[in-house]
Structure 1
Amino acid sequence: MVPKCGRAFDILDRDTVLGYPMGYSDVEADDYSEREDWRGRKVHLLGASPPKQYAVMQELTQPNLRDDPPANIVGVDWNGPHKMAYLGEYWSRDGWQPADHLSIRNTVRKSLEEIKQYWQDRGVWPETEPIDLYGPAVEEPNELIYMDQGGDPIGTREDLEAAYVERYEEYGRIAFLSEHAKKRWEYYEGLTLAD
Structure 2
Amino acid sequence: MRTLIVGGYGSVGHTIAEELATASEGPGSVIVAGLDWNGLHRGAQFGEFWTGNGWDDSGRDADHLTVRTTVRHGLSHVRSFWESQGVWPGRPTENAGQIQYQPPTPADLHSSACAECEDDVWTGSRDPFVAEYDTGDVCGYCCYECYFTHRTQNHLEEVMGEASVYIPPK
Query: Which TM-score bucket, shorter chain as reference?
Result: 0.5 to 0.7
Distance in 2, matches of 1:191 and 1:85, equals 27
Q: Look up the match of 2:88.
A: 125
SS of aligned partner of 2:41: helix
* Correspondent of 2:21 among 61, 64, 67: 61
TM-score when normalising by structure 1:
0.47
- Unpaired segments of 5 or more residues in structure 1? 1-40, 150-157, 180-185
Q: Look up the match of 2:47.
A: 88
- Report the CA distance shift for 1:69/1:122 in structure 2 as closer, same or farther (over 3 A): closer
- Report the CA distance shift for 1:83/1:191 in structure 2 as closer, same or farther (over 3 A): farther
Q: How many residues align?
A: 126
Would the aligned equivalents of 1:81 and 1:90 in 2 still touch at CA under 8 Å? yes
Q: Look up the match of 2:168.
A: none
1:94-173 matched pairs, under 5 angstroms: 94-98=53-57, 99=59, 100-101=61-62, 102-129=65-92, 144-148=105-109, 161-170=125-134
SS of aligned partner of 2:56: strand
SS of aligned partner of 2:109: helix
Would the aligned equivalents of 1:145 and 1:175 in 2 still touch at CA under 8 Å? no
TM-score when normalising by structure 2:
0.53
- Report the CA distance shift for 1:51/1:178 in structure 2 as closer, same or farther (over 3 A): farther
Percentage of pairs with the same residue:
23
Q: Look up the match of 1:50.
A: 10
Larger radius of gyration: 1
- Report the CA distance shift for 1:69/1:61 in structure 2 as closer, same or farther (over 3 A): same
- Report the CA distance shift for 1:175/1:60 in structure 2 as closer, same or farther (over 3 A): same
Q: Look up the match of 1:77.
A: 36
SS of aligned partner of 2:43: helix
- Report the CA distance shift for 1:92/1:61 in structure 2 as closer, same or farther (over 3 A): same
Q: Look up the match of 2:166.
A: none
Deviations 1:42-68 (A, max 9, x none): 653322122111111011012x5xxx5
- Greater relative contact order (CA < 8 Å, ≥ 6 in sequence): 2
Distance in 2, matches of 1:43 and 1:169, equals 32
* Deviation (angstroms), 1:123: 0.5
Would the aligned equivalents of 1:81 and 1:108 in 2 still touch at CA under 8 Å? yes
* Deviation (angstroms), 1:93: 1.2
- Report the CA distance shift for 1:61/1:159 in structure 2 as closer, same or farther (over 3 A): farther
- Unpaired segments of 5 or more residues in structure 2? 111-121, 144-149, 163-170
Distance in 2, matches of 1:79 and 1:140, equals 18
* Deviation (angstroms), 1:128: 2.6
